[in-house]
Amino acid sequence: MSADILISIRGLRTAFGRHVVHDNLDLDIRRGEILGLVGGSGTGKTVLMNAILGLQNYAAGDILFNGRHFSELSAAERRKVDSRWGVLFQNGALFTSLTVLENVMAPLREHVDMSIPLMEEIAGMKLGLAGLDSSVFDRFPSELSGGMRKRVALARALALDPDILFLDEPTAGLDPIGAAAFDALILELSRALDLTVLMITHDLDSLYAICDRIAVLADKRVAAVAPLEALMRNPHPWIQEYFHGPRGRTATAGKEN
């Protein structure tokens, strides 16, 4: 496996009963890239992310991280790998009974042995990176806007200095200006912190703005993976409809203006 590949998936098969979601799926995630993952509804984007995260069993295939098979890792080794990953789930999944600061401290409490004041300091720093100041630290998630909640979830995903960030539709539910600001934040953080990012999205603007490459899920596998310009020339019918249909044209026009 090439040194620039962080995660390699080979021959993956996932199924729920007789419903096969992925069959013989291959995908490489390169170190330091922002890889967008797109596909029609129900094509298995979230199931694929969960399989990588160890939250979803698979019937066949291999997932390698830094060249090592997940199946070979002991529970302790897997836990260590998990602590190097940041995840932003689709709904943000903040703890509603914890304050903003406590939410960001949660992974530190779970994985690191350090004093409470130090945890608070680190959590505050991560919130700062996510563009939030101390005026929100003591608020509860229900007291925040959708965009602010996403930023808290992002700060929590960054709490343990991850190597890779998994984002499941990070801009869903945000207005276009909020979504563009969030995209810019992801791009800035990924470059500054040398993060690898896997981002599931339906948002064409996000693909145009920040993705280095885009993987398309179709026909139970990765039908294509390429930088945007090359992908747009791919003759696959779903890709043509997606990028050259009305929504695609609008996003392209927005990019050119």
Footprint on this chain of ligand ATP (rule: CB under 6 A): 16, 21, 39, 41-47
Nearer residue to ligand ATP within complex by CB, 43 or 190: 43
Residue with tokens 């990953």: 85
Q: Is 241 left (phi over 0), alpha (psi -120 to 50) or beta?
A: alpha
For the CB of residue 57, give the shortest distance to ligand ATP in the complex, in Å: 11
Nearer residue to ligand ATP within complex by CB, 49 or 185: 49
Nearer residue to ligand ATP within complex by CB, 47 or 88: 47
| Nearest Cα residue to 156 out of 97, 91, 104 | 104
Nearer residue to ligand ATP within complex by CB, 44 or 92: 44
For the CB of residue 25, give the shortest distance to ligand ATP in the complex, in Å: 12
Q: How far apart are CA 52 and CA 85, in angstroms?
A: 11
For the CB of residue 142, give the shortest distance to ligand ATP in the complex, in Å: 24
- Report the DSSP pairing between strands 213-218 and 34-39: parallel
146-157 and 116-129 helices, crossing angle to 10°: 120
Nearer residue to ligand ATP within complex by CB, 159 or 225: 225
For the CB of residue 172, give the shortest distance to ligand ATP in the complex, in Å: 9
For the CB of residue 208, give the shortest distance to ligand ATP in the complex, in Å: 19
DSSP letter string, 75-104:
HHHHHHHHHTEEEE-TT----TTS-HHHHH
φ, ψ for residue 172, nearest 5 deg: -60, 135
For the CB of residue 68, give the shortest distance to ligand ATP in the complex, in Å: 25
Could you tell me where the beta strands, DSSP code E, fall in 33-191? Answer: 34-39, 60-65, 68-69, 85-88, 164-168
Alpha-carbon distances, residue 85 vs 11, 164, 199 (angstroms): 23, 5, 13
Residue with tokens 């896997």: 198
Nearer residue to ligand ATP within complex by CB, 83 or 90: 90
> At a CB cut-off of 8 Å and minimum separation 6, what does 78 contact?
54, 70
Nearer residue to ligand ATP within complex by CB, 42 or 128: 42
